[in-house]
Amino acid sequence: KPLPPGPWSLPWIGNLQYLISHPNWLTYTDWYQRYDSDIVHVNIAGHSFIILNTLEAATELLDRRSGIYSSRPRLRMLNDLIGWKWSFASMPYGAEWKAQRKLFINMFNPNNPDQHEPRELKATRLFLLKLYEAPEDLSYLLQNLAGSTILSVVYGFDVGAMQDSVHTDNARRGAEGFIRACVPGTFFVDYLPWLRYVPSCFPGSSFQGRAQVWKEYMEKLLHGPFDTMKNQIFEEGLESCFVSRCLGKLSGEHDEEWVIKQTAGSMYLAGTDTTVTSLRSFFLAMMQYPECQKKAQQELDRVVGSNRLPDFSDRDSLPYIQAIVYETMRWQPITPAGLPHLASEEDVYNGYRIPKGSIIIANAWAMMHDERNFQDPYTFNPDRYIRPADGQLNHGMLKPTAGFGFGRRICPGKHMALSATWIAIASTLSVFDILKSVDGNGQIIEPFTEYDNTTLQNQPNPYKCSIKLRSPECLHVMQTDVDFVEGK
Ligand code: HEM
């Protein structure tokens, strides 16, 4: 059977242009249109890449044939040089992966929002006050928000005590290595494994030095919060959390604690940066589409009023806020090409051969910008998720779930990701106006709208924005709420 269509390449060495230019989701989407095929093949340095551009293709292969497509490629830089091979996010399919994934699912149950929502609420309340005090620190405060939430959910630390925590900074630096090196082919050593034996002083071997630095932070991410927590749990006691629930169920089996530590480390890695990226896109969207911001604030004023902040009990009554969450994730998917899967057997799809060992990429960007499903897909338009007849959520509309991956490797933290994003968006819009900045002459500064698409994540480049209280009363409401969640 023929290989799927795709860019021309030489049989053994493949397409050298793409070895150097590192294709990303935009290139993949371009191929989708050029070859008019939901499945595209490209050979890069002798490795087959299969790009799945539609929900139908990804669902058929990654969901329905998950027995073949649930592994991950071995990426030398990521797994061997930096050393992420302990994390089940980058592990091949097998017993070790199953043990960690099972622990995650059993001990962090999507049906039990109490395991994360109260911490998300508290972290968001603290974030609002800090944003009021230092709006220019938006990016840093978003990192604190996401970092303190996940540190509390996973390791039981108090959200307040985790503001400006060294752990959050370590997680950010550790995650940087992961999000760069998990994109196959970012480093030549992924294609040419012998490069790892070239001494780091040789020209072109700077990747060795970078791997060393990232390894240091990766180890801090894995051991730091877990070891601190274990000391504290005996001295002071901690709130119930993922790790304490796991430790409470130890059965005495070999390596149990090590498995808990690794699973917690994967949660910590995956749960911090992703939320920050989605919220940074949200702030950008609010500046670019002020009419959507106004509509959301009208809904909040109508449902919640001005004497309190929204909480999770308001979720069903705020369909437009939910629509903004979905639209943010659709308009600018956070991980638009997902994490790579691996074909562990040869397979055939629509008459095309998928060679064993192919790297499989689910191109969520193309799926979320597919005109068959989303009219005018490059415009931010939350109304596409709203039924015109009654203003409620349109459940028939495709949700941006492709951004959470597929099959047995689908993101196990997506329920937390959605609720953390929801409460942050609802709370921010209830007290702040997000506006374009103005320079010393009163001229509007148009925000940078470019994105960095060289890593796993679709991160907006730094931009300026102005964040103003909607009314003086909002400050009082924010302070009262912080006192309340802190139990004062
Ligand atoms: C908006 C935020 C998030 C997005 C967009 C996101 C997206 C993804 C994607 C695309 C994958 C790969 C799925 C695949 O291979 O098919 C993934 C895996 C994963 N995610 Fe998330 N994620 C988010 C938040 C979280 C959170 C909050 C947690 C933890 C609490 C988490 C934990 C994980 C883990 C552990 C994996 C690895 C799963 C495996 O390989 O078996 N993620 N995520």
Atom of ligand 1 nearest to the CA of 272: 27
The response to whether residue 409 sits with its C-beta less than 6 Å from ligand 1 reads yes
Please check the confidence at residue 170 and state whether its pLDDT lies above 70.
yes
- Residue 154 token pair: 């996973």
The response to whether residue 275 sits with its C-beta less than 6 Å from ligand 1 reads yes
Cα 345 from Cα 349, distance rounded (Å): 13
Class of domain 16-485: mainly alpha
pLDDT in tens, 390-423: 999 999 999 999 999 999 999 999 999 999 999 9
pLDDT in tens, 389-398: 999 999 999 9
Regarding predicted confidence, which is higher, 388 or 16? 388
Whether 398 and 374 have beta carbons less than 8 Å apart is answered as yes
Torsion angle, alpha carbons of 415, 417, 420, 426, to 10: -90
Pocket test for ligand 1, best of 411, 419, 458 (most atoms within 8 A of CB): 411
pLDDT in tens, 185-240: 899 899 888 888 888 788 778 899 999 999 999 999 999 999 999 888 766 666 78
pLDDT in tens, 244-288: 999 888 887 778 999 999 999 999 999 989 999 999 999 999 999
SS (H, E, C) 5-32: CCCCCECCCECHHHHHHCCCHHHHHHHH
The response to whether residue 101 sits with its C-beta less than 6 Å from ligand 1 reads yes
Whether 183 and 22 have beta carbons less than 8 Å apart is answered as yes
Whether 52 and 62 have beta carbons less than 8 Å apart is answered as yes
Atom of ligand 1 nearest to the CA of 100: 41
Give me the amino acid identity at 54. Answer: T
Whether 345 and 68 have beta carbons less than 8 Å apart is answered as yes
Cα 370 from Cα 374, distance rounded (Å): 6
| Full-model pTM | 0.95
Please check the confidence at residue 488 and state whether its pLDDT lies above 70.
no
Atom of ligand 1 nearest to the CA of 420: 27
Q: CA 389, 392, 396 angle in degrees (round to 5)?
A: 85
Q: What is the mean pLDDT of residues 111-123?
A: 94
Is 411 among the annotated ligand-binding positions? yes
What was the ipTM of the complex prediction? 0.99
Q: Domain coordinates of the chain in residue numbers?
A: 16-485
Helix (H) or strand (E) holding 347, with range, is strand 347-349
By CB atoms closer than 10 A (0-12, 13-18, 19+), residue 199 is: exposed
pLDDT at 248: 85
The response to whether residue 335 sits with its C-beta less than 6 Å from ligand 1 reads yes
